[in-house]
């Protein structure tokens, strides 16, 4: 998206597309929203889509398809084995990444399951810049553990550091020596670290980290689910990269890694996923796991229509005008909120705007899940569904005690090509109102707590009648029908 200049208006993000299909939205009255979030166990995952005005839960599988993506779905080849759709997808990925072997899977966490089954043994240590919930859950499920080595400054909520997802290189080498290379099945670098604000990793850091891995003979894996945002930030923020095309940057990054996996629900704008494997023998060591867990090797649990759309989406992800919209809308939202004084993660990353619930709700103790409470309050205050990214998204320690997250964030995701700037302004307005009434927000406690990935299906209750009090303050400001 180019920076279009205005004659008599401040610069604002410009959508480089026009809207051709729309979906009706409904804003329920505030008292009804209180009822719906209570019925959902104060868990935004449990809300029905009809309950929601603006769905900012995630960008996973909810990005808007282009006209070219939708038209490509009409040529899908639905053969169980040997589908031409698969070979078109494989060819496009090889063109972009330079890696021939592709293992298809129905989404990113399925790729993580296959990689874990193949490489991780009890007692192994997988090193990462930062974990993603499902990646960590798969590893711990089989008796492995995760060591997170993101640079300490990457966890500072407010900064101007351009690449807060960078791994600490000294700590990386020290960890390898401590664990011994034999006990480290692979090093995982997540492009666009999801849980700390969608913050990018620099090319220089990826290069240095993979050089260290090669020195010790350790496999390198990149989670490319948020690669498109990371590519945008490398081109805009990293010295010497401004003249590189998105395709050039993608190939430079891909050449560093042994394995690249992705969720097509994010990268590719459709529903699916895949593992790209450079080495033929390594590919064959995993290929039996696809029919075991996913489907045959030429569809991997995906709809072939989605695969055709995704193949076009990969091309669109190489277009700066396409991939810039998300980061620019996030940046606009973050800057406006920061100017107002709302505690928000800076600089703006990819994926979404991230409210710092630790500061926003400083009066709520961490054991009462401040980010989860802020998510519920955000729904009450505007019909806006965000996602908790904090202690609620962690799993308890083996002794049953809470594992407190290093950050308590409410993520307001910006699905690609979905929201307009006026809707973004509405979000900013409601966040500012909620911040001015933050003392009314109270805590949450579990009444049904699943053992694994509890944030998806857990049921909670409010620790007091704070939702009703928040709604009364809202009605005094906006009326009962909004």
Q: What is the mean pLDDT of residues 227-236?
A: 96
Q: Over 80: is that where the pLDDT of 2 sits?
A: no
The strand pairing partners of 356, in sequence order, are 409
Contact 262/228 with Cβ under 8 angstroms? Answer: no
Q: What is the pLDDT of residues 448-462, one digit of tens each?
A: 999 889 999 999 999
Taking only the tens place, the pLDDT of each residue in 358-380 is 999 999 999 999 999 999 999 99
pLDDT digits 0-9 by tens, 312-358: 999 999 999 999 989 999 999 999 999 999 999 999 998 899 999 99
The answer, yes or no, to whether residue 1 has pLDDT greater than 60, is no
Confidence of residue 123 (pLDDT cuts 50, 70, 90): very high
The answer to whether residue 232 scores a pLDDT higher than 60 is yes
Distance CA 386, CA 409 (A): 10
Judge whether 381 and 474 are in contact, CB under 8 Å: yes
**Residue of 135, 130, 157 whose CA lies nearest to 349:** 157
Average pLDDT over residues 229-252: 97
The Cα–Cα gap between 471 and 122 comes to 49
Split at pLDDT 50, 70, 90, the class of 195 is confident
* Active site amino acids: 80, 132-133, 223, 266, 389, 455
Q: Are strands 125-128 and 101-105 parallel, antiparallel or unpaired?
A: unpaired
Instruction: List CB contacts of 228: < 8 A, sequence separation 6 or more.
Output: 266, 267, 317, 323, 326, 350
Tens of pLDDT, residue by residue over 199-228, are 999 999 999 999 999 999 999 999 999 999
Q: For 146-176, write each residue's pLDDT tens digit.
A: 999 999 999 999 999 999 999 999 999 999 9
């Amino acid at each position: 998206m180019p920076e279009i200049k205005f004659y008599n208006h401040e610069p604002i993000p410009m959508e480089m597309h026009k809207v051709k299909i729309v979906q009706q939205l409904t804003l329920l009255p505030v008292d009804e929203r209180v009822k719906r979030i209570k019925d959902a166990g104060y868990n935004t995952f449990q809300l029905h889509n009809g309950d929601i005005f603006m769905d900012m839960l995630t960008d996973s599988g909810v990005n808007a398809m282009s006209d070219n993506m939708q038209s490509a779905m009409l040529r899908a080849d639905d053969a169980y084995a040997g589908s031409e759709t698969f070979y078109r997808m494989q060819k496009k990925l090889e063109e972009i990444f330079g890696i021939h072997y592709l293992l298809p899977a129905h989404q990113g966490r399925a790729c993580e399951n296959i990689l874990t089954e193949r490489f991780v043994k009890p007692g192994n240590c997988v090193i990462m810049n930062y974990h993603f919930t499902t990646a960590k859950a798969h590893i711990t499920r089989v008796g492995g553990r995760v060591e997170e080595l993101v640079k300490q400054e990457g966890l500072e909520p407010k900064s101007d550091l351009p690449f807060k997802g960078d791994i600490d290189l000294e700590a990386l080498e020290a960890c390898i020596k401590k664990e011994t290379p034999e006990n480290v099945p692979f090093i995982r670098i997540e492009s666009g670290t999801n849980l700390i604000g969608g913050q990018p990793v620099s090319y220089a850091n990826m290069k240095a980290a993979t050089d260290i891995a090669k020195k010790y003979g350790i496999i390198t894996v990149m989670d490319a689910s948020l690669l498109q945002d990371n590519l945008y930030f490398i081109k805009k923020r990293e010295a010497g990269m401004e003249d590189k095309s998105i395709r050039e940057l993608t190939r430079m990054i891909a050449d560093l890694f042994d394995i690249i996996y992705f969720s097509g629900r994010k990268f590719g704008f459709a529903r699916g996923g895949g593992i790209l494997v450079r080495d033929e023998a390594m590919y064959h060591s995993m290929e039996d796991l696809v029919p075991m867990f996913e489907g045959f090797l030429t569809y991997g649990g995906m709809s072939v229509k989605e695969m055709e759309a995704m193949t076009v989406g990969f091309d669109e992800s190489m277009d700066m005008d396409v991939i810039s919209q998300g980061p620019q809308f996030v940046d606009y939202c973050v800057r406006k909120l920061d100017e107002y004084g709302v505690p928000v993660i800076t600089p703006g990353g990819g994926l979404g705007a991230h409210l710092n619930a630790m500061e926003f709700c400083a009066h709520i103790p961490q054991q009462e899940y401040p980010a989860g409470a802020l998510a519920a309050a955000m729904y009450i205050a505007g019909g806006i569904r965000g996602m908790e990214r904090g202690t609620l998204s962690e799993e308890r320690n083996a002794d049953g005690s809470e594992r407190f997250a290093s950050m308590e964030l409410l993520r307001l995701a910006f699905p690609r090509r979905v929201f307009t700037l006026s809707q973004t302004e509405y979000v900013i307005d409601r966040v500012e109102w909620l911040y001015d009434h933050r003392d009314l927000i109270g805590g949450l406690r579990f009444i049904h707590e699943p053992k694994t990935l509890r944030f998806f299906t857990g049921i909670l209750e409010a620790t007091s009648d704070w939702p009703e009090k928040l709604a009364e303050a809202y009605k005094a400001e906006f009326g009962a029908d909004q």
